[in-house]
Structure 1
Amino acid sequence: MTRSPYQLSVAPEVLDRLHPRLRAYFGPVPTGHVGRGEGRFEVVGTPRRWLWPLLAWFARDAVMFPVWERDVPFSVENRPARVRRGQADVLEARIAVRAHRTFHFRSGDRTMVDAITAEPEGLTDHLGRRGRVSALLRTEVDAEGPDRGALRLVSTRVTFRALGRGWCLPAVLTPRVTLVERFDDDADVQRVSLVLSAPVVGTLYRYEGAFRYAVVPDARRGPDAGRGRGR
């Protein structure tokens, strides 16, 4: 991978405002390498137990989980991949970064899967193993202020894939994803915060924490490494 999906979708002057340590995280993962990180989440999930049956449905495809836990160890792996996207009759293999975030819950390990691609409409996150839920993302990087150098991703459209095409929810029903990644120089860690919210209801799901990350040679790379499935 010579350019990451972020570099293909976001204006260079925006990425230039990133903290130097974040440029490596959102840059390309070289062939034969993998990005690995380990850390802890302060919180994961939602205390609203009436949402857990819905989250259990998303858990089957490794999107979200019916939990509410604090101080959760986790690991992340970012790998270069090719993900097939487009209409059912015209699928294109697009450059992607596929992430696996493994949460070490008290009840056992659970892994969240997603793939970031550069689509004609812009940067897009395809959630789950099959990528049936996609979020078109707006990218922001502050040049000044408390979040200077941090990356903020805000969803502007959520699409569900079924019957060979994408279906968009009406704006009044569409949940919003807000993800903030910033680097804490004092603690020498990368901090991440994700909030999924909906009109009227408010926060549906969130996680926030910190981790350390590096791109290293992929000793476990095999014939299936980096192969995407999303349709």
Structure 2
Amino acid sequence: MTRSPYELTTPPEVLARLHPRLRTYFGAVPPGHVGRGEGVFAVVGTPRRWLWPLLALFARDAVMFPVWERQVPFTVENRAARVRRGPGTGREARPAVRAHRTFHFRSGTRTMVDAITAGPDGLVDNLGRRGRVSALLRAEVDATGPDAGALRLVSTRVTFRALGRDRRLPAVVSPRVTLVERFDDEADRQRVSLVLSAPVLGTLYRYEGAFRYEIVPDAGPRRGR
């Protein structure tokens, strides 16, 4: 893969506004290499325990987890991949970056899995090991202001696969994902913030933290369960 899904779906003038250190993270992972990062999440999950039974269902597919913890050590591993979404074998495999984010919770180690792909309508995040839930994302990079140089991804459509078909959730009930990745020059760390929210209910799930990231030769996977 010579270009990443971000480079294939985002206008060059938008990517040009990225902080130079973020261009490595959102660029292509070279053959024979892997992107690895290590840091700490200040918070992960939700304090709204009535949501935990639902989150436990998503946890089975490595999407979200029924937790609310602070100061959670984590690692991230990004690998170039190709993803074929949908039934059958006739669909073209699309360029992707598959990410494994491993959280070291007090209750044990858990890994969140997703694959960012270059879809026909733009950037798509396929969530979980099986990718049954996906979100179409809009990429934004501010040229000025407090988030200048940061990449902000905002979901514009959420679909789920059931009975062999992709079904789009109506806007009035569809959750919204907002992800911000920025580089902190003073701390020499990349900072990430993700918020999953829903109409009326507000914030359902979130995580935020900081980490260091580099592209290294691939010596094999180092992942949690």
Contact 1:56 1:66 in 2 (8 A): yes
Task: Report the alpha carbon displacement of residue 90 of structure 1 after superposing the two structures with TM.
Answer: 3.4
Structure 2 unaligned regions, length at least 5? none
Cα RMSD after superposing both structures: 1.0
Task: Report the alpha carbon displacement of residue 220 of structure 1 after superposing the two structures with TM.
Answer: 1.6
Contact 1:41 1:73 in 2 (8 A): yes
In 2, Cα distance between equivalents of 1:65 and 1:164: 26
Structure 1 unaligned regions, length at least 5? 222-231
In 1, Cα distance between equivalents of 2:104 and 2:68: 13
- Partner residue in 2 for 1:208: 208
Deviation track 1:42-83 (CA, whole Å, cap 9, x = no partner) reads 000000000000000000000000000000000000000011
Question: How many equivalent residue pairs?
Answer: 221
Structure 1 position 93 matched with structure 2 position 82:
no
- Partner residue in 2 for 1:13: 13
In structure 2, the CA distance between the partners of 1:41 and 1:170, relative to structure 1 (3 Å rule), is same
- Partner residue in 2 for 1:131: 131
For residue 23 of structure 1, what is the amino acid of its counterpart?
Answer: R
Contact 2:175 2:197 in 1 (8 A): yes
Contact 1:88 1:165 in 2 (8 A): no
Task: Report the alpha carbon displacement of residue 219 of structure 1 after superposing the two structures with TM.
Answer: 1.1
Contact 1:86 1:92 in 2 (8 A): no
Task: Report the alpha carbon displacement of residue 145 of structure 1 after superposing the two structures with TM.
Answer: 0.3
Aligned positions of 1:53-132 closer than 5 A? 53-86=53-86, 88=88, 90-132=90-132
TM-score normalised by the chain length of structure 2:
0.96
In 1, Cα distance between equivalents of 2:220 and 2:89: 34
Task: Give structure 1 regions of 4+ aligned residues with deviation exceeding 3 angstroms.
Answer: 86-90
In 2, Cα distance between equivalents of 1:166 and 1:58: 18
In 1, Cα distance between equivalents of 2:90 and 2:161: 15
- Partner residue in 1 for 2:48: 48
In 2, Cα distance between equivalents of 1:170 and 1:30: 38
In 2, Cα distance between equivalents of 1:205 and 1:109: 18
Contact 2:86 2:164 in 1 (8 A): no
For residue 57 of structure 1, what is the amino acid of its counterpart?
Answer: L
TM-score normalised by the chain length of structure 1:
0.94
